[in-house]
Amino acid sequence: MDKPSSNKNSKDLHLEQFRVNNEGEKLTTNQGLRVSNDENSLKAGVRGPTIMEDFHFREKMTHFDHERIPERVVHARGYAAHGEFELYESMKEFTKAGFLQKPRTKTPVFVRFSTVVGSVGSVDTARDVRGFATKFYTEEGNYDLVGNNIPIFFIQDAVKFPDLIHAVKPEPHNEIPQAASAHDTFWDFVANNQETAHMVMWQMSDRSIPKNFRMMEGFGVHTFRFVNENGKAKFVKFHWKPVLGIHSLVWDEAQKIAGKDSDFHRRDLWESIERGNYPVYEFGVQMIDEADEFKFDFDILDATKLWPEEIVPVKIIGKMTLNRNVSNVFAETEQVAFHPGNVVPGIDFTNDPLLQGRLFSYIDTQLIRLGGPNFTEIPINRPVCPIHNNQRNGYSRQRIDVGQVSYHKNSLAGNTPSPSTAKEGGYVHYEEKVEGRKTQVRSESFGDHFSQARLFWNSMSPPEKQHIVDSFSFEVGKVKNRDVRQQVVDMFVHVDKAMATMIADNVGVNRPTGEQSGVTATSPALSQANTKYFPQTLNVGVLIGDGFNADEVDKVLKTFTRYGVRYTIIGEKLDEVKSSKGPPLTVNAAIFTTDPVLYDSIYVVAGTAGNQAKFNQQMTNFINEAFQHYKPIGIATTGMSIFKASNAKEGPGIVFATGNPEFGKTFVDAIAQQRFWDRAIY
């Protein structure tokens, strides 16, 4: 949606000099020497041993042996794209950040989406938190907004982060399970660290299995500061809101997609950009005056708490459009280095203890992953503004600094490079009065772990609540230790007693005896039931065979195109399907190579096939699966017999062409709704 006319202006032009196209070129060594033979190593005789004199063999093999770098400890599996951020209105009143001053200013960005727990080779659709990290290449330096698709986090203090990750990663004695939290050590950690309650509610909700990256919300998680040119500050939280709305997979669907297409999310992002269906996110901020820091019934610096949008509205100030795929995944997606400490004048930190720890950890991990302190010289990490300082040497140094001076202060170079004043753009830390005794205690204002977890539960629609119960039952049901299962149930009774009782019954432990939080408030912004719904970019699988009604089908496909709905022609085999009259249609996917979970909806046209009985059964299976996952299903006049042979029932989201002259538009409206939760599937 909302595609720019060209992506030329958003292209990361500072990277162009580093791109190399080898097509049509002669093969060389890394020293530039042309190679005459790349099929055989140098040998002593035709059947003799390889000679170490073969420098090309040694260089090629040595490079191959060193091609891998350590994967990220968390967020290892990621995918990324380039784009631009455009400001809607000036934020000069609140911040002196240069890229937020002038409306219509466009800033190049690079965004990396990721899962948290799994290794680089894990699946895209695991139940997990998703990373949403954005690098702004501003004229004042790189600004990194390193966030997630959930506005809060599991813990309050960074000292607990290694414990959390050790608990959720595969268990060390057998390295099982991969990319999953459904095991003993994670839930043992949850039950014994009850500050996790709010985040776990989000994790067990539909938010942790997004439909795709394009329909996924993003958050900065922490409380930061905006500081204007007069030194006045406001507390701020950052939001990315997808213009297509916030939508999710259902759990059974997500598990099946993991087997059918483990690259489901990254493929969607890549193909959407290639087609010109650029993902767009509006950028919003919540702001609180410093004088109001203590007026709420939660601590605004507590990373396990959100600021309800009904209390602190989100002000939309710009939009981000992702309009170009990466050229090389390793060079860009894997080598990009994000750091919450990469800020620009006008954006500052707070005393959030989780944020404070991240300011150390992120820079530390890049040093080992990317081979030393010069990772900022890797093309994807280079700022667009000039770099001048006295830092020298180190592994893989690419700059050639000239002159004899590499220290401050100096007289030999006129005391340059010299610091800048605030008016010259120098970064000045916000002056905050800090005093107190050194102590290792948690603020009492961080002590309430269940009120916002209860608020989240209260805000869910009935289907969302059922999904939370189902996911708790699945995850805790995988825990082998009965005592841990009991502890989890006894903990979450404080969120909702009926919920905890259902979970207890499902996982075979005693019903809890505690009482739930007394919170009765709701926040409608937390429910995906209140999101936006559009048909654009949704993909319909068209099940079709020879002999279809060309007039009927052509009219429907044109309606799809008019409303921006994508479609995939699915036939018995990769060939053409012939109509009763008119031109044939090219099959995009053979029915045995694809699956209903890969589509947002299906349109059953039917027709004849070489193996008609098998084709009919395959189409029936598509209907059954789509029906079970609450998806809209369109039935052409020629598809009625297939529908009747399925387990699907007439009702919400089932659209018939027979007797319906407005079938195409009615079906598109159903496609836009995406799920029909009031459908009786049992």
Chain segment 348-366, per-residue pLDDT in tens = 999 999 999 999 999 899 9
What distances in angstroms separate CA 621 from CA 589, 597, 625, 681, one per listed residue? 16, 11, 6, 15
According to DSSP, the β-strands at 141-148 and 224-227 are unpaired
Instruction: Pull the structure tokens for residue 511.
Output: 């019903």
**Percentage above 90 pLDDT, the chain:** 93
CATH code for the domain in which residue 465 is found: 1.20.1370.20
Residue 681 lies in a domain: no
CA 18 vs. chain centroid, Å, equals 27
Residue 134 lies in a domain: yes
Residue at which a domain ends, from 529, 560, 590? 529
Q: What is the C-alpha radius of gyration for the chain, rounded to an integer number of angstroms?
A: 28
Same domain, 517 and 539: no
Report how far residue 79's alpha carbon sits from residue 92's, in angstroms, rounded to the nearest whole number. Answer: 33
Catalytic site residue from 7, 148, 149, 342: 148
CA 12 vs. chain centroid, Å, equals 21
Same domain, 523 and 569: no
- Mean pLDDT of the residues in the chain: 95
Residue 643 lies in a domain: yes
Q: Is the pLDDT of residue 547 over 90?
A: yes
Active site residue 82: no
Residue 609 lies in a domain: yes
Locate tokens 């500072």: which residue?
A: 14
Same domain, 241 and 307: yes
Confidence of residue 3 (pLDDT cuts 50, 70, 90): very low
Same domain, 518 and 560: no
Report how far residue 153's alpha carbon sits from residue 231's, in angstroms, rounded to the nearest whole number. Answer: 30
Confidence of residue 7 (pLDDT cuts 50, 70, 90): very low
> pTM for the whole thing?
0.95
Instruction: Name the amino acid, one letter, at 41.
Output: S
CATH code for the domain in which residue 655 is found: 3.40.50.880
Give the phi and the psi of residue 511 in degrees, each rounded to 5.
-65, 145
Alpha helices in 493-568 (DSSP H): 497-507, 550-562
Q: Is the pLDDT of residue 527 over 50?
A: yes
Instruction: Pull the structure tokens for residue 176.
Output: 């099982």
Burial of 436 (0-12, 13-18, 19+ CB in 10 A): exposed
Report how far residue 262's alpha carbon sits from residue 115's, in angstroms, rounded to the nearest whole number. Answer: 13
Confidence of residue 158 (pLDDT cuts 50, 70, 90): very high
Average pLDDT over residues 379-393: 93
Locate tokens 């297939």: which residue?
A: 642
Confidence of residue 462 (pLDDT cuts 50, 70, 90): very high
Residue at which a domain ends, from 358, 381, 404? 381
| Cβ count within 10 A of residue 539 | 16
Same domain, 479 and 511: yes
DSSP SS3 for 73? coil
CA-closest candidate to residue 419, choices 408, 430, 429:
408
Helices 497-507 and 482-492, axial angle in degrees (round to 10): 170
Cis amide linkage into residue 409, ω under 30° from 0: yes
Same domain, 606 and 639: yes
Average pLDDT over residues 470-494: 98
Q: Is the pLDDT of residue 6 over 60?
A: no
More confident residue, 63 or 156: 156
Residue 316 lies in a domain: yes
* pLDDT at 13 (0 to 100): 66
Active site residue 148: yes
Same domain, 153 and 226: yes
* pLDDT at 116 (0 to 100): 97
Structural domain boundaries, residue 555: 533-673
How would DSSP label each residue in 138-200? ETTEEEEEEEESSSS-S-SSGGGHHHHHHHHSPBTTTTB-TT---SHHHHHHHHH-GGGHHHH
* pLDDT at 463 (0 to 100): 97
Give how many domains the chain has, as a whole number: 3
Report how far residue 31's alpha carbon sits from residue 223's, in angstroms, rounded to the nearest whole number. Answer: 49
Residue 324 lies in a domain: yes
Q: Is the pLDDT of residue 634 over 80?
A: yes
Same domain, 525 and 652: no
Give the phi and the psi of residue 145 in degrees, each rounded to 5.
-105, 100
Catalytic site residue from 7, 56, 75, 222: 75
Locate tokens 């195109």: which residue?
A: 561
Buried b (16+ CB within 10 A) or exposed e, 208-227: bbbbbbbbbbbbbbbbbbbb
Residue 440 lies in a domain: no
Report how far residue 122's alpha carbon sits from residue 544's, in angstroms, rounded to the nearest whole number. Answer: 34
Same domain, 82 and 217: yes
According to DSSP, the β-strands at 654-656 and 633-635 are parallel
* pLDDT at 1 (0 to 100): 47
Q: Is the pLDDT of residue 19 over 90?
A: no
* pLDDT at 582 (0 to 100): 83
Residue at which a domain ends, from 317, 348, 381? 381
Residue 148 lies in a domain: yes
Instruction: Pull the structure tokens for residue 670.
Output: 């159903």
| Cβ count within 10 A of residue 524 | 12
Confidence of residue 15 (pLDDT cuts 50, 70, 90): confident
What one-character DSSP code corresponds to residue 241?
Answer: E
Cβ atoms of residues 199 and 154 within 8 Å: yes
Instruction: Pull the structure tokens for residue 617.
Output: 């059964």
Q: Is the pLDDT of residue 9 over 60?
A: no
Average pLDDT over residues 271-285: 98
Locate tokens 């100096």: which residue?
A: 410
Q: Give the dihedral sign, CA 241/246/251/253.
A: negative
Average pLDDT over residues 100-122: 97
DSSP SS3 for 82? strand
Same domain, 346 and 274: yes
Q: Is the pLDDT of residue 170 over 80?
A: yes
Same domain, 484 and 537: no
**Percentage above 70 pLDDT, the chain:** 98
Burial of 419 (0-12, 13-18, 19+ CB in 10 A): exposed
Chain segment 570-616, per-residue pLDDT in tens = 999 999 999 988 899 999 999 999 999 999 999 999 999 999 999 99
CATH code for the domain in which residue 155 is found: 2.40.180.10
Q: Is the pLDDT of residue 5 over 50?
A: no
What one-character DSSP code corresponds to residue 129?
Answer: -
* pLDDT at 138 (0 to 100): 97
* pLDDT at 8 (0 to 100): 41
Q: Is the pLDDT of residue 10 over 70?
A: no
Same domain, 513 and 577: no
